Structure 1
């Protein structure tokens, strides 16, 4: 099988930006991957790709881990990613992707325009965010942006933000990999790309960490929201193109 080099380059870009934004590469990787592979293949690739990128993030940013958020967001995320993964075979993903895209655009714009709005950093909000992000990750392949919006309420230092998000993401990916394999999403094609995606995961994280060192703390949250807005718009544009049958083969 011929390897698509452009797809791998875009995967590297997604990993770098995902590291800088702090919410993981899947929010870019999934929309980009859908331009080259079917939806379920992208789900399988995302899970194995994220395992490597999150291991590297945990290693590079491990000093900033927030154990309370790890519990409040991580536990419901793992539980609901399994549920979402099993449901992914039964639900029309197109409608859910549209809802996710609209949600990301509205909320990122709201926080960018009305910066004084603050989500209360409560245990309840953390658990709700973890539930939604885990379910979305299992069903759509990406839940990092929802988790990013939730974690932004706690105003973490950027290293703590990335370390905690990566550890939660690792638990999510570890769980959904088994579900996706059982669903038949990880086959010969996905395993062919595995070694390339593993390398890209580590290299992209390292490059993202280097770039992040030049970004002031006060600009970090705004930058994350801008990335989330771009993701939402990209998702809606992609679905519009697919709907009108103009997607390149």
Structure 2
């Protein structure tokens, strides 16, 4: 089976940007992957890809793991990623891609226009944020943006933020991998890319950590949001063109 190396290069870029921007690579990887593979294959690849990248983040940013947030955000995330993963099988893939595109556009515009938006750092919002991010991850393949917004309220030190987010993400990906496999999303094609995506997850996280030292996170966050907006618009436009023409 022929491997698409352009897709792998984009996956590496997505991992580096996701590490630096704090949104996670899936917010870039899922819509980019949709240009090369069907939506369900991308979901399967995302779970595999994230397992390796999150193991890397846990190792590289292991200091300062916040165990309280791990419980409050991680527990509902795991429950709802399983629910979202099973629901993804019964919802039309085109509809899911449209929802994904709209989600990316609304999310990016919201934070570009209202950058001062915050969520109060309390247990209730942690549980709600965890549930929404897990459900989104299971259904659409990406939920890091919602989780990142929830965690930002607690004003964690940068390494602690990445380590805690990565550990929660690892639990999410570990859970949804079994759901996606039972749904038939992980087959020969997805397993062909497994060693490549595993290596990219490791290398991309390492490079992202190196770059993070030289780029102010607030400036890169804005660039990341603009990139997310462009990807969201491209996703919606591509679906519209395929539908009408």
Question: How far 1:103 moved relative to its partner?
Answer: 4.1
List per-residue Cα deviations over 1:110-141 (Å, max 9, x = no partner). Answer: 44434444321111111111111100111111
Question: How far 1:15 moved relative to its partner?
Answer: 0.5
- Asked if 1:223 corresponds to 2:195, the answer is no
Question: How far 1:221 moved relative to its partner?
Answer: 4.5
List per-residue Cα deviations over 1:170-220 (Å, max 9, x = no partner). Answer: 00000000001111110111111100111000000000000011234xxx2
Query: Partners in 2 of 1:194 and 1:152 — Cα distance?
Result: 32
CA distance 1:149–1:175, shift in 2 (3 Å): same
Question: How far 1:223 moved relative to its partner?
Answer: 3.3
User: Structure 1 residues 46-55 or 109-118, which shifts more?
Assistant: 109-118
CA distance 1:114–1:89, shift in 2 (3 Å): closer
Query: Partners in 1 of 2:155 and 2:93 — Cα distance?
Result: 32
Residues 98 and 235, structure 1, Cα contact 8 Å, conserved in 2: no
Counterpart in 1 of 2:17?
17
Correspondence 1:70-219 to 2 at 5 A: 70-216=70-216
Output the TM-score relative to the length of structure 1: 0.91
Residues 105 and 232, structure 1, Cα contact 8 Å, conserved in 2: yes
Counterpart in 2 of 1:40?
40
Instruction: Give the count of matched residue pairs.
Output: 243
User: Structure 1 residues 191-200 or 230-239, which shifts more?
Assistant: 230-239
Structure 2 unmatched runs, 5+: none
CA distance 1:92–1:51, shift in 2 (3 Å): same
Counterpart in 2 of 1:238?
235
List per-residue Cα deviations over 1:61-107 (Å, max 9, x = no partner). Answer: 00031111111111100000000111111013444444444344444
List per-residue Cα deviations over 1:39-67 (Å, max 9, x = no partner). Answer: 11101111011100000000000003111
RMSD: 1.9
Residues 101 and 231, structure 1, Cα contact 8 Å, conserved in 2: no
Output the TM-score relative to the length of structure 2: 0.92
Structure 1 unmatched runs, 5+: none
CA distance 1:196–1:13, shift in 2 (3 Å): same
Residues 52 and 201, structure 1, Cα contact 8 Å, conserved in 2: yes
